[in-house]
């Protein structure tokens, strides 16, 4: 198989390599390429688990590593012990990634650490990229001048199946409105609601936002407009049933079109 030359070259350079794997298409595709490019060389995948990581993502990472016989370490980055992260300021991601990358560089003991950052990520406000810079994290897709569409196309070439079409799904903490404290119980509620709705709707772009006013269920506008009143009521009931055992019984629930980053309140 012919890999993108610059990408393969970047991945072969370190003597030892750790890849931070979230469970999304970017990091899994990067891992698949690294497994080919670095055949016979040291490679370890690291997946951080915490209340902010959907259970489905961890299950996907475990299955991916097992199917390719790749070394996988499941770790706790420790961000929930960081009060700055839990306070959910506008730069919350900086504290999350600082904890993650600091732990991975210590764990790797001199290994290079790579992440699935791509060109599209550079045009957005991502304080986590500052943390990556401070810890010397490699961005092979950026080096290879690849964006999200390029990565999805490569994932199909690599025969990664459904992974190639996974909708973007940032950590669960990104669903909590800026300034609201990040609480594990509420993240569990968000995950439960999204899991219940995806069981009904499939792997679509979907967010359950925790706002000061309650819960906002966001679905791609074109799909949302296809639903009649009965279907909207059914989805609201599903969200209520999933959220109630986890503290959401009294929260207002609204359905609205998906808007990227709508829980993030800019200064």
Residues catalogued as catalytic:
171
Phi, psi of 18 (to 5 degrees): -115, 135
Contacts of 123 (CB under 8 A, 6+ apart): none
CA distances from 131 to 43, 79, 188 (A): 23, 13, 26
As a whole number of angstroms, the distance between CA 15 and CA 107 comes to 15
What sections of 13-54 are H helices per DSSP? Answer: 25-37
| DSSP secondary structure string for all residues of 79-106 | GGG-HHHHT--TTHHHHHHHHHHHHHHH
As a whole number of angstroms, the distance between CA 216 and CA 236 comes to 10
Contacts of 181 (CB under 8 A, 6+ apart): 86, 87, 88
As a whole number of angstroms, the distance between CA 44 and CA 114 comes to 10
Residues 255 and 228: beta-carbon distance below 8 Å = no
């Amino acid at each position: 198989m012919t890999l993108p030359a610059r990408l393969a070259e970047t991945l072969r350079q370190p003597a030892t390599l750790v890849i931070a794997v979230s469970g999304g298409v970017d990091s899994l595709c990067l891992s698949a390429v690294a497994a080919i490019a670095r055949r016979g060389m040291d490679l370890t995948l690291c997946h951080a688990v915490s209340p902010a990581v959907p259970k489905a993502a961890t299950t996907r990472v475990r299955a991916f590593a097992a199917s390719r016989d790749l070394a996988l370490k499941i770790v706790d980055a420790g961000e929930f012990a960081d009060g700055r992260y839990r306070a959910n300021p506008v730069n919350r991601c900086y504290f999350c990634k600082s904890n993650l990358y600091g732990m991975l560089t210590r764990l790797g003991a001199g290994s290079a650490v790579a992440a699935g950052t791509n060109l599209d990520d550079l045009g957005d406000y991502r304080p986590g990229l500052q943390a990556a810079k401070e810890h010397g994290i490699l961005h092979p897709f950026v080096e290879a001048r690849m964006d999200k569409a390029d990565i999805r196309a490569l994932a199909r070439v690599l025969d990664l199946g459904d992974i190639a079409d996974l909708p973007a799904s940032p950590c669960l903490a990104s669903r909590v409105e800026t300034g609201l404290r990040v609480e594990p119980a509420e993240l569990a509620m968000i995950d439960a609601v999204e899991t219940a709705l995806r069981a009904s709707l499939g792997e679509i772009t979907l967010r359950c936002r925790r706002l000061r006013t309650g819960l906002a269920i966001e679905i791609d506008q074109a799909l949302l407009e296809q639903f009649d009143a009965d279907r909207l009521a059914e989805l609201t009931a599903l969200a209520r049933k999933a959220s109630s055992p986890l503290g959401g019984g009294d929260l207002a629930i609204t359905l609205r079109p998906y808007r990227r980053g709508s829980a993030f309140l800019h200064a």
